[in-house]
Amino acid sequence: MRIVTYNVFSLRARLVPPRTLKSFLDSLESDIICLQETKLTRQELTAEIAVADGYESFFSCTRTVSKGRVRYSGVATFCRTPTAVPVAADEGFTGLLHTNRTGEIEGGKARVGCYEEVLNMENMSRQDLLQLDWEGRCLVTDHGSFVLFNLYGPSVGPDNEERYEFKLRFYRALQNRWEGLLKNGRRVIAVGDFNISPFPIDSCHSDSNPDFDKSSIRQWFRSQLRANGGPFVDVFREIHPIREGAYTFWNQMSGSEEFNYGTRLDLIIAAGGCFHQVRSEESNSLLKAEESHHFGTCEVEDCDILLEFKRFKADSVPRRGGEKTQKLDGSDHVPVYVQLRPQPPLEQHDVPPLAARFMPEIRGRQQSIASFLQKRSCSLIMDIEAQKETKPRLSLPTATCVRKNPPKVTKFLKSQNSKQKSLHSFFMLPTTKGKENTEAANAFKLAFQDSDSETLLKPSLEQSQTFVINSPHDGGLALPEFDEGSIDASSSHMSRISRNDALPSSDSQETNAEPTDSSNTSSLKQDCTCESQNHVPEAVETVETAETNEKLSAKIEWQRIQKTMMNRVPMCSGHNEPCATYVMKKPGPNHGRKFHCCARAQGPSSNPEAKCKYFKWQNKYK
């Protein structure tokens, strides 16, 4: 039997199409798959992310609404059918999540049992114990020959004493549950992200932390090992006692995977007696398993880290020149597996009712008013989007009469004047000459050219349209007359006009167009039905030249801004490369201050290619 533990750092993120839940589980090639940090609430569980053919699944989701604890933790256990289906299952390790109104634990044979040790703890009320299970950090499954704990240990931020005490209470209560099972002759395997690095060899930060061995959490874990009189064996260190660099977690913010600068947080520990019997050489009698035989040594064939699931590969882009590493696919943890020897077969039994396929959310029934309203709001949004897609597009009307400055169009043009035209125009001083005319022309041009749609609304020869440009002394831009429905369509459905129908730029823009003769303009006004196709090539050339000049000017201006910004970023002393800028988030007098440090990935100080020790505050004051 093969068991794997994997902190997935959001289960939904690991199931990006075309990858499905079944294909993801099959890639781990295990009989029992324990996942941590699923980041799912119970209302978010669907068949696509909770149920897979060939597996029975069990979930524990967070129930607390305290700050930072929603969609944060969560564990899930997937058991291959029919060989690894448990006979009983518990959500949480105290059993209090399965109590009825009278305070009794329901479920009978479907529960693992042995709760007395944890429920009778001193200085811990039932409410205190219940809070330990509210964050969805534990699943317990009974597989006959052993009881499996799928754990996600609490993490503690710097100087967070309250959270540190919660972590101590969590593990001390968990220890009592283990002791209750071991007293009843059960064998225990605990896997998961413990958020504990047991020994200095398991952490790259141990050399720089003089209080590494003084941590209360670390001392508690060591007290549970056989070397210190405890019942458990650290299975990985039992097989690989001196392997260095055997890390399972890397800080994604510092890019430390590049230099394998991490920590071993994902652990597998086992306790209990082994199954085989030993024949005494002296008396030729059969003896039961003694202290020299242990479940974590005799029944384990192999245990190792699956580094092929590591995000950083040899072809990944390293951090150089102040640029961050490209976004890597996968979790910031890697899986760890243990291979057990063949276990005694189980008799035929029912699937525990805690299985995900029995949940009302998976079976399609509503659970609460909140979920009902949430689904209803989503359906309403989908209906609105569908109506938008089916709404017919309106084309430009045929120009049969030219009217100067229609009121609706003028209002539309004025609403566009406040928009930023381009990066170049943003840095230019405003001009007053011909301001009204240029703003109207630019706004009309901008309204039709800023759309992202690929559909070009282009009048045909049978449905052509005449545009008239007045001289600077006239009232501005002459446009065809629109009805109110067309005006509304122009603001929401109009894509950009084809270059064959584009307007020439006004005199305030940098173009090569010559001023329009007023006599020619007046003659055009008299003949409303004259076709404008004869003047299209000149207009196209003028507009293309203007746009080319604008893009070139904007590019030069943007390069100047980038150069100015780069000059303000200091160079690191170790590599003479632009630094990366960060913001201090730690509470204290420097909270919110920006600082600069080396942009390379974090690694050992002995490696010259890793991050150097350069540090500088951006400003003297906050």
Q: For the sheet containing 615-617, what is the strand order?
A: 580-583, 594-597, 615-617
Per-residue model confidence (pLDDT) at position 18? 92
β-sheet bridge partners, residue 596:
581, 616
Which member of 6, 55, 115, 152 is catalytic?
152
Does residue 557 sit in the same domain as residue 579? no
CA distance readout (Å), 257 to 152, 186, 194, 610: 22, 39, 20, 11
Q: What percent of the chain has pLDDT over 70?
A: 65
Q: Which of 358, 386, 420 is the last residue of a domain?
A: 358
- C-alpha torsion 439→442→447→452, nearest 10: -140
A 10 A CB-CB count for 80 gives 18
Beginning with the edge strand found earlier in the chain, give each strand of the sheet holding 88-91 in spatial order: 88-91, 138-142, 147-152, 188-193, 266-271, 232-234
Residues 479 and 610 in one domain: no
CATH number at 347 reads 3.60.10.10
Instruction: Count the domains in the chain.
Output: 3
In a domain, 350, yes or no: yes
Q: How confident is the model at residue 245 (pLDDT cuts 50, 70, 90)?
A: very high
State yes or no: 7 annotated in a binding site. yes
Beta bridge partners of 152: 193
If asked whether residues 476 and 606 sit together in one domain, one would say no
Cis peptide before 18 (omega within 30 of 0): yes
The yes-or-no answer on residue 193 being catalytic is yes
- Determine, yes or no, domain membership for 437: yes
Q: Is 53 among the annotated ligand-binding positions?
A: no
State whether 88 and 214 are in the same domain.
Answer: yes
Q: Consult the annotation and say whether 302 binds a ligand.
A: no
Is the previous residue joined to 82 through a cis bond, with omega within 30 degrees of 0? yes
The question of whether 98 is a catalytic residue gets the answer: no
> Of 542, 561, 580, at which residue does a domain stop?
561
What span, in angstroms and rounded, lies between the C-alpha atoms of 173 and 298?
A: 28
Whether the predicted pLDDT of 386 surpasses 80: no
Residues 538 and 613 in one domain: no
505 and 534 in a single domain? The answer is yes
Domain of 409, in residue numbers: 402-561
Q: Which residue from 126, 121, 122, 171 is spatially nearest to 149, judged by alpha carbons?
A: 171
Separation between Cα atoms, residue 336 and residue 446, nearest integer Å: 57
Q: Is residue 372 part of a domain?
A: no
On whether both 467 and 597 belong to a single domain, the answer is no
Q: Are residues 224 and 348 in the same domain?
A: yes
Domain contains 368: no
In a domain, 373, yes or no: no
* pLDDT band at residue 383 under the 50/70/90 scheme: low
Here the tokens at position 46 are 């669907």
Give percent above pLDDT 90 in the chain.
44
**pLDDT single digits (tens) 472-531:** 444 444 444 444 443 343 333 333 333 334 334 434 344 344 444 444 444 444 444 444
Classify 36 as helix, strand or coil.
strand
604 in the same domain as 545: no
- Same domain assignment for residues 338 and 321: yes
Among the listed residues 193, 202, 234, 501, the single catalytic one is: 193
Q: Does 333 show up as a binding residue in the annotation?
A: yes
Q: Do residues 345 and 275 make contact, with C-beta atoms less than 8 angstroms apart?
A: no
Choose, from 98, 143, 294, 333, the residue flagged as catalytic: 333
144 falls within a domain: yes
What single letter denotes the amino acid at residue 203? Answer: S
Band of residue 387 on the pLDDT scale cut at 50, 70, 90: low
Closest CA to 51 of 356, 309, 416, 336: 356
Q: How many Å separate Cα 334 from the centre of its chain? A: 16
List, for residues 96-134, the tens digit of each pLDDT value. 999 988 888 998 889 999 999 999 999 899 999 999 999
Decide if 366 is inside a domain: no
Q: Does 333 participate in catalysis according to the annotation?
A: yes
Q: For residues 585 and 557, state if they share a domain.
A: no
* Confidence class for position 152, pLDDT limits 50, 70, 90: very high
Confidence of residue 561 (pLDDT cuts 50, 70, 90): confident
The answer to whether residues 148 and 251 belong to one domain is yes
Nearest Cα to Cα of residue 39 among 58, 21, 61: 61
Q: Which residue has the higher pLDDT, 143 or 363?
A: 143
In a domain, 369, yes or no: no
